[in-house]
């Protein structure tokens, strides 16, 4: 569904731009319409005015006017079709976005929810259940987790505190240092596991906060290589951020980036 939405959103953008251009053409076109008469020997062009009067247009002397009238007719027909297609795309995207079937369970009273098993879950209920799933966090030096987030988690660094609070503020469901069982049999602990509600896809976020340090940088590269060899790729399902002494976190820019990835706005 995510790929389909991506294709439709791209088409929607193309249509909106084309409709804008066609509208400009139509607004700036000359009055009247073009009539073309074809015979076995020649093609004749006529300017048909609003009341039906037709004036013959010799092609050589009126080539620009003839082209403008032809473009006007094409623009009018294009707008009718393009606006209808755009309306269909908007209707489909809105239907998928609202997911009325998913909301049936969410709209039940608490008493009824206890009695039934849902066939489909709405995004909010799904994400709440996803966040509430118990897991054993990274056992490595638990005493280092000394910063408490607005979500109630404890994290290891001030930068991770910033990210956790940012995800919480944006409404992006996340888990801190949740185990990721790799195909090679090993277990990784990404800094954050994030959920995109609209597609229910998991993403992994690693933040490298000491990129100035050569040994730290080498370990980071090895970690990224392990992800790559296990089918987790930067830009696909792995998001990477970093900072150095001379290149601190740009919080507004990062907030904008994560919003564009995880928050759907049609």
Closest CA to 12 of 113, 72, 118, 87: 87
Secondary structure class of 95 (helix, strand, coil): helix
* Confidence check: pLDDT of 70 > 80: yes
pLDDT at residue 190 is higher than 70: yes
Identify whether the C-beta of residue 166 lies closer than 8 Å to the C-beta of residue 184: no
- pLDDT, one tens digit per residue, over 195-253 is 999 889 999 999 999 989 999 999 999 999 999 999 999 999 999 999 998 999 999 99
What is the per-residue pLDDT across 112-150, written as a single tens digit (0 to 9) for each?
A: 988 888 888 888 889 999 999 999 999 999 989 999 999
Residue written as tokens 């290149």? 247
Q: What is the average pLDDT score of the chain?
A: 92
Least Cα distance to 198 among 131, 257, 124 occurs for 124
Residue with token string 């909010």? 124
How many whole angstroms separate alpha carbon 81 and alpha carbon 165?
46
Does pLDDT of 96 surpass 80? no
Band (266; pLDDT cuts 50, 70, 90): very low
Looking from the CA of 154 toward its CB, the CA atoms found within 13 Å total 9
pTM > 0.75: no
Q: What is the pLDDT of residues 20-31, one digit of tens each?
A: 999 999 999 999
**Separation between Cα atoms, residue 247 and residue 236, nearest integer Å:** 25
Q: In what order do the strands lie in the sheet with 238-242?
A: 174-176, 192-196, 201-208, 238-242
DSSP label at residue 175? E
Share of residues in the chain with pLDDT > 70 (%): 96
- Are 14 and 82 a contacting pair, CB within 8 Å? no
């Amino acid at each position: 569904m995510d790929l389909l939405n991506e294709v439709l959103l791209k088409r929607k953008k193309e249509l909106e731009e084309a409709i804008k251009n066609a509208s400009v053409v139509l607004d700036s076109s000359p009055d009247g319409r073009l009539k073309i008469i074809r015979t076995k020997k020649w093609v004749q062009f006529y300017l048909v005015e609003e009341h039906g009067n037709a004036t013959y247009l010799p092609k050589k002397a009126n080539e620009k006017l003839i082209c403008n009238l032809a473009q006007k007719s094409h623009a009018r027909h294009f707008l009718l079709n393009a606006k209808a297609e755009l309306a269909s795309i908007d209707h489909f995207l809105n239907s998928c976005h609202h997911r009325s079937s998913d909301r049936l369970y969410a709209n039940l009273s608490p008493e009824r929810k206890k009695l039934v098993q849902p066939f489909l879950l709405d995004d909010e209920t799904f994400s709440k259940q996803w966040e509430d799933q118990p897991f054993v966090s990274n056992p490595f030096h638990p005493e280092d987790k000394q910063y408490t987030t607005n979500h109630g988690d404890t994290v290891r660094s001030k930068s991770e505190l910033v990210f956790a609070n940012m995800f919480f503020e944006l409404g992006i469901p996340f888990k801190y240092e949740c185990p990721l069982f790799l195909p090679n049999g090993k277990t990784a602990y990404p800094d954050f596991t994030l959920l995109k509600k609209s597609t229910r896809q998991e993403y992994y976020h690693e933040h490298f906060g000491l990129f100035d340090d050569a040994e730290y940088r080498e370990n980071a590269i090895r970690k990224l290589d392990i992800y790559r060899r296990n089918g987790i790729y930067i830009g696909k399902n792995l998001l990477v951020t970093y900072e150095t002494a001379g290149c601190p976190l740009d919080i507004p820019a990062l907030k904008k980036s994560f919003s564009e990835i995880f928050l759907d706005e049609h």
